[in-house]
Chain A
Amino acid sequence: MRRAIAMTALAVALGVALTGCRGGGNRDALPPAGTDTGSSTVATTPAPAPKTAAPVDAAAAVNQADKDLAELDTLLAELDGQLKKAEESPNDED
């Protein structure tokens, strides 16, 4: 009886020990998540690209300016029309 208990205890202890080795001793295991500031491991997450101003293409700027200026000419023509309607008239005394 004592011998059986001892064998069972030994088997349980051996199993626990083996489980522990498998979880913590695997050299190929993935590194723990989160930052590891204290370790010397090189971070593999790609750093965000530095924010640099997009190069200004003079030709593109001129093209865009042409579009904007064409629309502005339309707006100014619309403005002239409104101002003409807002001019004083003989009926304005009323």
Chain B
Amino acid sequence: MRTDMLIRRGLLFAATTLTAAALAAAAGVPAQGAPAVAGVAVQAADQAANLANAKKLTTVRIDGRLALLRAEGVAIRNAARLTDAHQAALQKTIDADIAGLTELRAKVAAETTTEAVRADARSMVEDYRVYLLVRPQVHLTVAADVESAALARLRTLHDKLAQAVAAAKSAGKDVGDAEAKLAHLKSELDATESALSGLADDLLAVQPGPDAAAIKAKTAAARADVRTARTHLRAAVADAKSLRTLLQP
């Protein structure tokens, strides 16, 4: 009998405890809802901040490219050795890129999602390739045209020196060394011409795109050709200086 009473009291206690716990749990729901709503608000604020930051960063990157393009425009207008055709081609690229990037800048400012800004940033890189392609196109083309000017000057100098060597030979002087230098000078000039052949036109024909490695390979090849031409030009100038010394009366 006493045992039955104890069991009943135990069950009653358990029921009371469970009810209290359920009530407490029910009472706790509204108390835990406030942080969740606040979390959504924080998330929205984060997204807005991320969007603003993405737009700011992309705009800064576009501005850097626009500044570089304007500087390159000044550089090609001041490049005295740049041929008219190469100058026109480079100016066309620069003008088109400035127009396109200025338009893209306005598009970025109007974007409402970070995904859209990310797509704009990809376009900024892949559709223009200002650093990877345009900058080397400008400076390597100017360099190639400087080398062409030097080559023409050296060819004229070679002919004058050849005349002087021939005259010295006619006068009975020993011009064996001078003739050897002349031959070497000519071979260096021919090698320079070979390195420069089609260099600028091929480089200017490269278009921007997603394949950065392919673009880099083409600019690297052009850079190597310009360096090769420079090496031969330096050797040719050294030959001409030696000839000048040999011919000195």
Residues on A facing B (Cβ under 8 Å): 53, 55-56, 58-59, 61-62, 64-66, 68-69, 71-73, 75-76, 78-80, 82-83, 85-87, 89, 91-94
Contact = CB atoms under 8 A, between A and B. Distances in A.
Contact of A79 (B132, B147, B223): B147
Interface stretch (B25-33, B84-92, B101-109, B133-141): B133-141
Contact of B164 (A58, A75, A92, A94): A58
A58 B223 CA distance: 39
A82 B142 contact: yes
B161 A65 contact: yes
A56 to B, nearest CB: 4
A91 B61 CA distance: 11
B132 A86 contact: no
Contact of A71 (B153, B212, B249): B153
Interface residues of B, number: 43
A53 to B, nearest CB: 8
A93 B234 CA distance: 32
B167 A92 contact: no
B47 to A, nearest CB: 26
A69 B226 contact: no
A78 B143 CA distance: 8
Contacts of B157: 64-65, 68-69, 72
B168 interface: yes
Nearest to B61: A94
A53 B166 CA distance: 12
Nearest to B156: A68
For the residues of B in contact with A, the DSSP-based class is helix
Contacts of B81: 75, 78
Nearest to B249: A58
A71 B153 CA distance: 9
13 contacts: A61-B160, A61-B163, A61-B247, A65-B157, A65-B240, A65-B243, A69-B157, A69-B240, A76-B233, A79-B143, A79-B150, A80-B230, A94-B130
A69 B241 contact: yes
A94 B227 contact: no
B237 interface: yes
Nearest to A58: B249
B233 A64 contact: no
Given A65-B244, A68-B157, A86-B223, A92 B249 contact: no
